[in-house]
Amino acid sequence: YRAKEQGRLSMIFDRQMHQEILEAITLEVDLRNALEQNQLLLHYQPIVDVKTGDIAGFEALVRWDHPSRGLVPPVKFIPLAEETGLIVPLGRYVIDEACRQLRAWQLEMPEAAHLTVSVNVSCRQFVKDGLVEHVAGVLAETGLAPSCLKLEITESVLMHDARVTARELQRLKDLGVKIAIDDFGTGYSSLSYLRQLPIDQLKIDRSFISGHECNDESQEIVKSIISLARSLGLTVVAEGVECPDQLDRLRLADCDKAQGFMFSRPLDKDAAHRLIRGNG
């Protein structure tokens, strides 16, 4: 009886695994098509100045408008894109589109002149494939001021290959592009190492602001990240701000900027346009 049961279980398991593998393959084929068929688009989430309440810029967040699955969030396809190398063309698309869009807004609306756009960059894009050349090309083509573009990298990128990272960051810095460390506090970057890198901003990970790890201890962590940033001459953004309480605490801790559902969810380009116009 037991053996039979086990046999059946493993059959079910095999079938499920088979299904999952099939899914993954289909998704990969679909993702290749998505790039060619313009199914990728960007949403824009406002980043707000804590002191003034003004919008300082947007984070560009990729979405996949899949013909049968609907709007697919990045957690569902960025890891796959990274595994398959598709992240390189995908990432280029995101940089191009974000720069083109912000420049178009700036040309159209004086309110957009000072705004920045932040773009997430994966490890794979960072260490290979001429990221710096690509960025330089896009800035030249679109006419966007380099200081309006901010690239967000995670601590895992810093850990990957310290020498390559430091060199590439310096080359980006020389272009005039800004660098932010995303999801800060979740990785293992050492302070002395951070100090040597030409970065501009720390983005405190959402788990310390509104995640389930959010408690008195995280408030202390937030405070120490902010004072660390101060001593390194960096600005700080808090991600995942969902309620006025959290914003109050950030204000007390002297945080520069905040981003989160309390202000706005990521918006499609038309809604972001209306928001900049002041009638959003």
Bridge partners (DSSP) of residue 154 are: 182
Q: Are 247 and 269 in contact (CB under 8 A)?
A: no
Which parts of 226-265 interact with Mg ion (CB under 5 A)? 239
**Between residues 142 and 154, which has the closer beta carbon with respect to Mg ion?**
154
Which x/- pattern over 101-130 shows residues binding Mg ion (rule: CB under 5 A)?
-------------------x----------
Query: Among 55, 62, 181, 258, which residue sits at the site for ligand C2E (rule: CB under 6 A)?
Result: 62
How far apart are alpha carbons 79 and 31 in whole angstroms? 12
Going by C-alpha positions, the residue among 7, 56, 64, 60 that lies closest to residue 35 is 64
| 138 sits near ligand C2E (criterion: CB under 6 A) | no
Contacts for 269 with CB less than 8 Å, ≥ 6 apart: 41, 42, 43, 44, 101
Which x/- pattern over 144-183 shows residues binding Mg ion (rule: CB under 5 A)?
--------x-----------------------------xx
Residue 153's φ and ψ, nearest 5 degrees, are -120, 155
Query: Among 120, 142, 165, 218, which residue sits at the site for ligand C2E (rule: CB under 6 A)?
Result: 120
Burial of 107 (0-12, 13-18, 19+ CB in 10 A): exposed
CB atoms inside a 10 Å sphere around CB 209: 26
How far apart are alpha carbons 147 and 178 in whole angstroms? 6
Query: Which among ligand C2E, Mg ion, none contacts residue 135 (Cβ within 5 to 8 A by kind)?
Result: none
Q: Which two tokens stand for residue 132?
A: 């710096």
**Between residues 75 and 191, which has the closer beta carbon with respect to Mg ion?**
75
Report the DSSP pairing between strands 70-72 and 116-120: unpaired
| 78 sits near ligand C2E (criterion: CB under 6 A) | yes
| 261 sits near ligand C2E (criterion: CB under 6 A) | yes
Query: Which among ligand C2E, Mg ion, none contacts residue 210 (Cβ within 5 to 8 A by kind)?
Result: ligand C2E
Which spans of this chain sit near Mg ion (rule: CB under 5 A)?
120, 152, 182-183, 239
Q: Which residues contact ligand C2E (rule: CB under 6 A)?
A: 45, 61-62, 73-75, 78, 91, 94, 120, 122, 152, 182-183, 206, 210, 239-242, 259-261, 266
